[in-house]
Structure 1
Amino acid sequence: MSKATAETSTQKTVNKRASNKKKVTTASFDNPLVFTRDQHPVSRQLMSPNALKVLHRLNKGGFEAYLVGGGVRDILLGLEPKDFDIATNATPDQIKDLFRNCRLIGRRFRLAHIVFGREIIEVATFRGHHDSTNDTDKKGKAIAKQSDEGMLLRDNIYGTIEEDAERRDFTINALYYSSKDFKVYDFANGVQDVKDKVIRLIGDPHTRYREDPVRMLRAIRFATKLDMQISADTKAPIKELSPLMASIPAARLFEEFLKMFITGKAVANFEQLRSYNLFGYFFPAVDQALNDESEQASYLLDFIMLAMENTDKRINNNQRVTPAFLFAAMLWYPLQRHIQHIKITTQLTPQDVFFAALNEIMPEQQRSIAIPKRFQAVIKDIWILQDKLSRREGKKAFKTFEHLKFRAGYDFLLLRAQIENTAELKELAHWWTDFQEVSNEARLQMIKGVNVPQGAKRRNPKKRRKPSTKATDIPAGQPTSKPTE
């Protein structure tokens, strides 16, 4: 594909249609609706300066380039755009030749990432149609491949802007903005669906979901995120085709988990996933437990809902959250079930019982969602802290208070106390709340007032150490390092 010509044949076709005197009221892939600068609110002032740089350089290099998808859609909805994806007729290698700060990623979909510090502008080459289910290039290398079920395993066939629009998932994402003529090109009546607040798939829903089952999740996510309704045709096959989710790699489902549960819409997405029989592909053990009629199942649902409500509230207040907290909440009661079973069938110590249960539930969960090790460590800390928080005698309270994940463990305890509503948990939660707010001397008095659990033995060393004259036994204020023994 040559880049010498400033205006390619596709651009000439688009411009020719834009100048057609006949008024077009319904978009098609051969004849898009074209909105001029005075007919839409999309402005360069609302866009990332780095995205504009990429558009300008691609145009200057002789290529077509458009802001596409979410950036255009959100501006039309009156929202602040956050995604600035670009579609172009330049191939990934041609893009890399233009940008020194470019890296090519992906095998299934070859993409170019233009890196500007922390901001990444994603650039995709126009997708084309497949001639067959398994296409190869001149060297025999696979550029398009489908599974027997119709899922796209590789998709690197390039085409025109019209073909690219037809390959998009939803009508509201088949909107293209040109920084050259300031026009919006609508190939699938997406502008009208934006106005009507409707999520509608492009093409046959059965075929599109089989190509990529994650589109079922995207339909739900866009509906909750944008306060839209999924069209009848688009939602009709979801329950029937939900088993296709079993083919999605665990690593990809982790990314989808973040989009569904760590963006401020966890409660709404959770309810929708359950209604469409999709939640079980994220958390099979949790889904099974939710369908039980035991008392623990009622605790589990209430606990998950409360954890998600708190997470949504923090995100919407621009407060930090960790995915580990929600993972810990989702799996807490299934973990307790494993613990009870192991207690009955073995004579292990409580610590060994916990780790035996942990070694059962985490590998099982990892088969569905590939949770990174950094989050697995935090999940384990939150769970271990539930036991540590119950042991307050001696210096144990201060050592627990110093734990790096104390706050997450404490917040988790508050949720448990609120849901289980037992006197023991409520007293424990109240005690730790007071412990954080009182003086150091008052903390010592609180510890002295703790009743030692039955069966526990106070340590009675044969020789007492002489008190240190250089440091107090307990550091003043909130500890930041281990207290001096």
Structure 2
Amino acid sequence: NNLFGTIEQDAKRRDFSINSLYYNPANGHLIDFNDALSDFHKRQIRSLIPLSYTFSEDPVRMIRALKYQVTTGFKLKYDVKKAIRKNAAMIGTCSTSRLTEEVSKILASGSSCEIFEKLRKYGLLAFILPCWAQYASIGAVSDSLKALDSKIREAVKEGRSIAKEEQIYAFIKPLLVFDSSQDMTPDELFHEAFRQTKILISPMTPPNYELEKAVDMVLQDIGIKRTRARKSAEARAPKKKPNTMGRKSAANEELSVVPAKKHKKRRKKNPKSGKIILPQEPKTLAEEHDL
């Protein structure tokens, strides 16, 4: 039930002032209904929606505020900081799918280390990633995320992108533990690492084929390679549906390519006259089936 209105009404519904500017391509002017330019000059992030209910109405706005703070270098107004700390637990009421999407965006941002640190500082991370949050302050975790951020920023400059499994790999690699005293096959090691990964990122639900590839990358770092790794991950990857727009359906195409099965004519004798009777060709698929 989207509400459509004027550009000014839309601007008033934005979460933060720095996200409410409009650009007129006809004359190159910026349109500002919320005194957002003043906030840009002050380098501050101000909520347009009353803080008494903005974060309870949509808790993901707290994540957005901290992401803006990191990516712009602006400061949060004191009342925004206070409201985030007060409503931090509300982030746990968001759907798993939405939080999974937000974590994915953070990993791909090129500033994941700083953003996760802000989420931890304001008390949100424990509700988003309860298990992973316990180890977020470990040096190896920070180093891995910083390396990922550097890699992503470099890729952006070159017009490339970093695969999702590489991002997850950097996220989980420092925290997977293998017991060297146990004699395990590559497949057994994979299943153990996959189990640990699911616990670490719970309740996030990224596609399993991305997790499998990430786990295989971790195993390759310690010299272990599964023979079925590639086939298993590819089998889980989403397949593109064939485009049948403007053509016959796949079923019709199959019928048009595969020739109809020919039935041998069987000669029958009329028990009374003794004459041989040739069966008639079926006229429809139903008749053919009955024969």
| Superposition TM-score tier, normalisation by shorter sequence | 0.5 to 0.7
Q: 2:168 aligns with which of 324, 327, 330?
A: 327
Q: Retained in 1: the 8 A contact 2:60–2:91?
A: yes
Alignment partner, residue 204 of structure 2: 369
Q: Does 1:252 align with 2:98?
A: yes
Q: One-letter code of the match for 2:54?
A: R
Query: What are the equivalent positions in structure 2 for 1:311-322 lying under 5 Å apart?
Result: 311-318=148-155, 320-322=161-163
Cα displacement (A) at 1:317: 2.1
Alignment partner, residue 388 of structure 1: 223
Size of the alignment, in residue pairs?
A: 225
CA RMSD of aligned residues (A): 3.1
Cα displacement (A) at 1:369: 2.0
Alignment partner, residue 115 of structure 2: 269
| Cα displacement string for residues 417-472 of structure 1 (whole angstroms, at most 9, x for unaligned residues) | xxxxxxxxxxxxxxxxxxxxxxxxxxxxxxxxxxxxxxxxxxxxxxxxxxxxxxxx
| Structure 2 alignment gaps of length 5 or more | 231-291
More relative contact order, 1 or 2 (CA 8 Å, 6+ apart): 2
Alignment partner, residue 303 of structure 1: 140
Cα displacement (A) at 1:192: 0.6
Cα displacement (A) at 1:284: 2.0
The farther-off stretch of 237-246 and 176-185 is 176-185
Q: 2:17 aligns with which of 171, 180, 192?
A: 171
Distance in structure 1 (CA, Å) of the matches to 2:41 and 2:209: 42
Distance in structure 1 (CA, Å) of the matches to 2:116 and 2:9: 34
Superposed structure 1 runs of 4+ greater than 6 Å apart = none
Q: Does 1:159 align with 2:16?
A: no
Counting helix residues as a fraction of each chain, which structure ranks higher? Answer: 2
Change (3 A) 1:312 1:288: closer
Change (3 A) 1:312 1:367: closer
Change (3 A) 1:162 1:289: same
Give the 3-state SS of the residue equivalent to 2:22 in structure 1.
strand
Distance in structure 1 (CA, Å) of the matches to 2:26 and 2:170: 50
| Cα displacement string for residues 97-121 of structure 1 (whole angstroms, at most 9, x for unaligned residues) | xxxxxxxxxxxxxxxxxxxxxxxxx
Q: Retained in 2: the 8 A contact 1:172–1:193?
A: yes
Alignment partner, residue 186 of structure 1: 32
Q: Retained in 1: the 8 A contact 2:51–2:80?
A: yes
Q: Retained in 1: the 8 A contact 2:45–2:65?
A: yes
Distance in structure 2 (CA, Å) of the matches to 1:352 and 1:177: 55
Q: Retained in 2: the 8 A contact 1:286–1:330?
A: no
| Cα displacement string for residues 65-114 of structure 1 (whole angstroms, at most 9, x for unaligned residues) | xxxxxxxxxxxxxxxxxxxxxxxxxxxxxxxxxxxxxxxxxxxxxxxxxx
| Cα displacement string for residues 258-308 of structure 1 (whole angstroms, at most 9, x for unaligned residues) | 3323222122212211111222344322212457xxxxxxxxx22211112
Q: Does 1:202 align with 2:54?
A: no
Cα displacement (A) at 1:356: 4.9
Distance in structure 1 (CA, Å) of the matches to 2:78 and 2:202: 33
Q: Retained in 1: the 8 A contact 2:129–2:201?
A: no
Query: What are the equivalent positions in structure 2 for 1:359-438 lying under 5 Å apart?
Result: 359-365=194-200, 367-388=202-223
Distance in structure 2 (CA, Å) of the matches to 1:232 and 1:239: 11
Q: Retained in 1: the 8 A contact 2:190–2:216?
A: no
Q: Retained in 2: the 8 A contact 1:242–1:276?
A: yes
Change (3 A) 1:218 1:190: same
Distance in structure 2 (CA, Å) of the matches to 1:273 and 1:160: 35
Q: Retained in 2: the 8 A contact 1:266–1:308?
A: yes
Bigger radius of gyration, 1 or 2? 2
Distance in structure 2 (CA, Å) of the matches to 1:201 and 1:235: 11
Distance in structure 1 (CA, Å) of the matches to 2:46 and 2:6: 22
Alignment partner, residue 61 of structure 2: 215
Q: One-letter code of the match for 2:216?
A: D
Q: What's the TM-score, normalizing by structure 2? A: 0.66
Cα displacement (A) at 1:182: 4.8
Q: Retained in 2: the 8 A contact 1:253–1:370?
A: no
Cα displacement (A) at 1:351: 4.7
Give the 3-state SS of the residue equivalent to 1:159 in structure 2.
coil
Give the 3-state SS of the residue equivalent to 2:73 in structure 1.
coil
Give the 3-state SS of the residue equivalent to 2:53 in structure 1.
helix
| Structure 1 alignment gaps of length 5 or more | 1-142, 144-155, 292-300, 390-395, 405-485
| Cα displacement string for residues 384-410 of structure 1 (whole angstroms, at most 9, x for unaligned residues) | 213425xxxxxx9xx99xx98xxxxxx
Percent of matched pairs sharing the same residue: 25
Q: Retained in 2: the 8 A contact 1:307–1:326?
A: no
Change (3 A) 1:331 1:315: closer
